[in-house]
Every structure is written in structure tokens, then in C-alpha cells.
Amino acid sequence: MENKQDYFFYLKKTTLLYVEDDDNTREELEYFLEKKVLKLIVAKNGQEGLELFKKHNPDLVITDIQMPVMDGIQMIKAIKEINPRVSTVIVTTFSDIEYLFEAIKLNISNYLTKPLNLYALSETLFSVSKNIFLEKENKEIFNTLKQYKDVVDERSIVSKATEEGIITYINEPFEKISGYKKEELLGKSHNIISHPNIDKNIFKDMWKRIKVEKKSWHGRIKNISKEGKEYFVDLIVKPILDTNGDILEFISLANDITDLELSREYFENLTQKNSLDLNETIKLVNTYKEAIDESNIILRVDTNKNITYANDAFYNISGYSKDELLGKPYSILKHYNLSEEESNQKIEEIFSEKIWKGKVSNYKKNGEVFHCHVTLFPLRNEKDEIIEFMSVRHDITQIENLHDELEDTQREIIYKLGEIGETRSSETGNHVKRVAEYSRLLAQKVNLSQQDVNRLFIASPMHDIGKIGIPDAILNKPGKLNEDEWKIMKTHTQIGYDILKDSKRETLRAAGIVSYTHHEKWDGTGYPLGLKGDDIHIFGRITAVADVFDALGSDRCYKKAWPLENILDLFKNEKGKHFDPKLIDIFIENLDEFLAIRDSYKDNNEKD
């Protein structure tokens, strides 16, 4: 179990329903539980327990099996029909073995045997309540992500497409400007709205940027609506990548700039006519300037890189006032995540003699960060001398935050999956972190590609995810498992593989391979398939070394940590039997680096 503070943290957030017909047992457990959980609800039989479940919707149900009116199995069946994901723990005697198998089919979280051992009960309560907390936390993460999406949907023209460019999502503003309904566009190519007169090189450039270079593309696009009406958008297309750098999908955010473009075209056409007098030209210039100001975030800088003008949109997004910016050097706008030297280099790059386009991330006055796609124009006089720079910006903060949230969510969910498997087997607090670090280091030493190194680093923490399907009484049994218990224990490799194998995410499929193969042995005596030598996936062979090294060097419920000398003796003896001999040689040659990782991730109960 983790430290006592963690134990009470998870329990104090858990509502528990306890169902027991024996008065003495019920009163004893009620006294033990009532101050440890957020709320304790007690029932004397299955029927009463079912009614209380409907009323209070608890997080966890602990129940006896044999009870009057309605037994525990019938009650769990009824509860699972109401909430299939609720955590359930049954209390049984050895004579209830047939009931136990029936309960396991109902996907119970765990079982305990009578007479109850309070330590075993505490272990189970901690394990289950922590899993409940992690699941709730994941729901909160997804809820936050949905709110980000809703904000973007309200303010921008949004669409999503597959790696092949097939539309998978459009929002209401997209429907409104294009004139198409969702059902008319989903499954179609974006070409359906492209204006026939648009330069095809624009799309070639876009495709190269987002598909090959895997970077954002920004530009202005001319489209045509269902009714044949042309419209213009300022468009950002961003590839969404998984943790391995592979493209999952493309997301596009656009702003309607039709009025601005039509105004610009109108102005260009008029100024070409010799009949225009000076006053009319000045008026048109001012109108054009107003149109630009209303549709964009504008900043102007002189040749000494001092700010000479900013429109209201720039003041609003940056948080600065006119007095705080005008006349000040452009460097007052600090660049996010860049050193002073890097920031100065960025400024020199932007303020060149050519039009510059790219993403700029600055700090607001209050310390927050805002992101913009910027087009910077050097303005020239009739002698072709640069007299000023004009920066036209479009706010992309929402899409940048959404992308970061997507990446963080994916990483956090993967890690929490590994944490759930760790918690179920009561392993040491930092076990999955050390296994991940050992696996990454060993993968680097055997010269796997950087993509495979990253993939294994993220996947290896889930090597024991299949243990969520193994009862705690078997996982945490202090003594040796009997033959039947060992058969059940070995199924965790298959369970983990079945959970992950069909995922569309490369990292999760890799985790399935790790789960399936990390108990195979080099000489073919491992499980579940008895694979031999190089037939065992390299991910499984590496994780096996990392997992055994950490397991032997850590305290477990059934043993004390081994001395390092004994672990190395085992590795040498099992080289070519249990383990890939090449991996053992590399491990021992680089032992100091592995020990440094171990020392960096000590468990709470270890002392320096």
C-alpha cells in the first residue's frame, strides 16, 4: 500500500454501500468503515441494498453473498443493469466457490474471504478507491477537453479531416458559410468547396506543409458555397499528431474575411482607373485601412523596431494600453519559451526585407501566453526604401491550447492506465516509472529507432494492465499460488493484449504487444505462447529485463527486495534461458546508468 496519507485521500472521496445480514459482522465493519469514507450506507439484505443503491448511487459496493430476501449475486446483477461500471467487492466463504465463479462473470472488482482480515480489507479498499478516483479524474479531463472544443466551435469555422483529406467533422459556422449540411459533406473531400479559379499550387504547398513536414499551414483561401457564391477565409490547418509523431487527423480553423477581400479587390480595381481624383483615392485608402483594422490584429513598427501603431484588437489580446506600447521597442513583447538571445534572433528573422509568415507566441501583460499566425509586410516608399513594417495577425491561441490539451490528455490517460495496473497488484509506488525509464535506456542502447524508443517508453508502463482482470486475493497473496491460482494469474497477459490489440493508436497497440510478450522466455519456456528467441518481440524482451530488475529490487507483499549482487547473479544465470543474452550483456555494461534511474525514482518507503 502507498503511504497512509494517500490511503485516506482516496477513501475520503468514496461513497460506499455495505450489505451484510449478520449483525455482528455488519456492526464491526460499520465501525471500521464509517470514518474512513466520504459516506457509508449500510443494508441488511440484497433487496434493501438495491433500493439504497438506486437512492444514493454509491461509488463502491461491498456485499456478502448468502443473505435472505435477495442474495448478493442477484443484487449485483440488478445493480450492474443500472450502472455496469460500478465497483463491487464480494465477501465469501470457501463453501461459496460456485457463487464466486458466478460473481467473477459479473466483472466484480475483487473478493475477500471470511473471516475478514482488516489489513486485507484495507488493501482492497485502497486499490479500488484509487481506481475509482482515477476514472473520475479521467472523466474530468475529457469534460475539460470538450469545453475547449465548444469554445472553439462557437467562435471559428471548424472542420476535421482524415490523413487522406476526407471530411470527418464540420461545425455550424462551417455549414452556414458553405451552405452545405453535415450529411452532405461528411465522407467527402474538401475539394467540394474549393473555388475552381484558385491556384492549385496553394494546395500543393499546403499538402507538403501539413502532410510531409507535419507543420501548420496558414493562408487565405477562396471557396465557393453550395449556392455558387464565392467567399474567402483566413485558414489555419494543423496536423494532430500522436505521441510518436504520426498524423491522427487534420483540424482546420478559419475566419470569414470575405468583406475584407471584396473591399481590397474593389479598391484595386478602382485605383487602376486614371479617372480617380486624389480625394477619392484618399477616401478609399482610409476605407481600406478601416476594413483591415476591423478584420485583423494590427501592429506597425518603424525601421528602428519601435512600435508606432497598434489597433484595438492588439491592445485587447496583449493586455497592454496605448501608452505602454507606442514608442516602445518591439522587444517589449517577450517571446514565449525563448531565451533573450533566441528572442533577438527571432526578431531579426521577422524584420527582414521580405514578407515574413509564421507563428509567434508572446506573453500578455498579465503573464499569460497568446499565439498568432503573423504576416509581416515591409512597407516601401517610391524609392523602394523600407519606411515601416506592418504586422497582420490572427489569433490561434484556442487551437494551440486545444492541441496541447489533446497531447497532454493522451499521455496522461496512457500513464494512468499503467497506474491502475500497478495499483491492482499493490506494487511499489514508482514501479511503472522505473520500468519506463529502464526500457527507454535499454532500447537506446540496442539502437532502436527514436520512434520505437519513444513508443516503448510510453507503452511499457502498461505491461501489467491485464492485472485489472485478476482478483486481488490472487494478486496480493503473501504465499505461493496454487496451480489453479497460477493459471488465473497467467491470463493477465492475454487480458492486457485483448484490451489493447485493436486500438487505432500505434502506442496502445505497442502496449498490447508488451503485455502479451513480457513473460515469454528466450528458451521458449515462458507464457502465454511459449515463443522462443527472436520470435519474441523486442519490446517484450526489453520490458522483461526492466520489469524483473525492478521487481527483484523492490519490496513486494510476498518478499523483501533482493541485494543487487543477487540480482546480477540471476541475470547471468538466466542469460540465454529467461533473457535475451545480448540485452543482459548491454544491461550489465551500462549498469551505472540503470542504477542512476533507480536512485532517481525511489519509493516512499525507501531511505537514502
Q: Which of 410-419, 452-461, 520-529, 548-557 has the highest mean predicted lDDT (pLDDT)?
A: 520-529
Q: Are strands 167-170 and 157-161 parallel, antiparallel or unpaired?
A: antiparallel
β-strand partners of 357: 375
Task: For 155-201, write each residue's pLDDT tens digit.
Answer: 678 888 998 889 999 988 899 999 999 999 999 988 889 888 888 88
Q: Cα separation of 586 and 446, whole Å?
A: 8
Beta strand segments in 140-216, E: 157-161, 167-170
Q: Cα separation of 546 and 459, whole Å?
A: 13
| Helical pair 23-33 and 118-155, crossing angle rounded to 10 deg | 60
Residues 522 and 576 sit within 8 Å (Cβ to Cβ): yes
Within 13 A of 498's CA, how many CA atoms are on the CB side?
Answer: 10
Inform me whether the pLDDT recorded for 324 exceeds 70: yes
Q: How many helices (H) and strands (E) does the chain have?
A: 25, 15
Residue recorded with cell 485583423? 296
Top-level CATH class of 296-395? alpha beta
Choices 2.40.50.100, 3.30.70.2190, 3.30.450.20, 3.55.10.10: CATH for 156-256: 3.30.450.20
pLDDT band at 571 (very low <50, low <70, confident <90, very high): very high
Residues 156 and 173 sit within 8 Å (Cβ to Cβ): yes
Residues 112 and 93 sit within 8 Å (Cβ to Cβ): no
Cell of 53: 443503491
Q: Cα separation of 587 and 593, whole Å?
A: 9
Inform me whether the pLDDT recorded for 421 exceeds 90: no
pLDDT of residue 234: 87
pTM: 0.46
- Structure-derived torsion over alpha carbons of residues 187, 188, 189, 195, reported in degrees to the nearest 10: -150
Q: Cα separation of 107 and 139, whole Å?
A: 21
Q: Using alpha carbons, select from 51, 106, 31 the residue that is nearest to residue 73.
A: 106
Percentage of residues of the chain with pLDDT beyond 70: 83
Q: If you ran DSSP here, which 8-state letter would residue 575 be given?
A: B
Choices 3.40.190.290, 1.10.3210.10, 1.10.150.20, 1.10.10.10: CATH for 426-600: 1.10.3210.10
Inform me whether the pLDDT recorded for 529 exceeds 70: yes
Task: For 8-17, write each residue's pLDDT tens digit.
Answer: 788 888 999 9
Instruction: Supply φ then ψ for residue 117, to 5 degrees.
Output: -95, 120
Residues 391 and 299 sit within 8 Å (Cβ to Cβ): yes
pLDDT band at 491 (very low <50, low <70, confident <90, very high): very high
The domain ranges of the chain are 4-146, 156-256, 296-395, 426-600
Q: How far is CA 184 from CA 113, 233, 236, in A?
A: 60, 20, 23
pLDDT of residue 282: 47
Cell of 428: 511499489
Secondary structure class of 259 (helix, strand, coil): helix
Max Cα distance, the chain (Å) = 105
Residue type, 273: K
Inform me whether the pLDDT recorded for 433 exceeds 50: yes
Residues 461 and 436 sit within 8 Å (Cβ to Cβ): yes
Q: Cα separation of 3 and 12, whole Å?
A: 15
4-146 — its CATH code?
3.40.50.2300
Q: Cα separation of 418 and 461, whole Å?
A: 5
Task: For 46-75, write each residue's pLDDT tens digit.
Answer: 999 999 999 999 999 999 988 889 988 899
pLDDT of residue 523: 96
Cell of 133: 478516483
Instruction: Supply φ then ψ for residue 167, to 5 degrees.
Output: -65, 130
pLDDT of residue 288: 45
Instruction: Supply φ then ψ for residue 224, to 5 degrees.
Output: -135, 135
Identify the burial level of 396 via C-beta atoms within 10 angstroms of its C-beta, where 0-12 means exposed, 13-18 middle and 19 or more buried.
buried
Same fold across 296-395 and 426-600: no
Q: Using alpha carbons, select from 472, 585, 367, 545 the residue that is nearest to residue 1.
A: 472
Task: For 587-599, write each residue's pLDDT tens digit.
Answer: 999 999 999 999 8
Q: Cα separation of 470 and 495, whole Å?
A: 9
Inform me whether the pLDDT recorded for 100 exceeds 80: no
Cell of 440: 527507454
- Identify whether 528 is preceded by a cis peptide bond (ω within 30 of 0): yes
pLDDT of residue 122: 85
Instruction: Supply φ then ψ for residue 601, to 5 degrees.
Output: -125, 55
Q: Return the number of other C-beta atoms located less than 10 Å from residue 421's C-beta.
A: 25
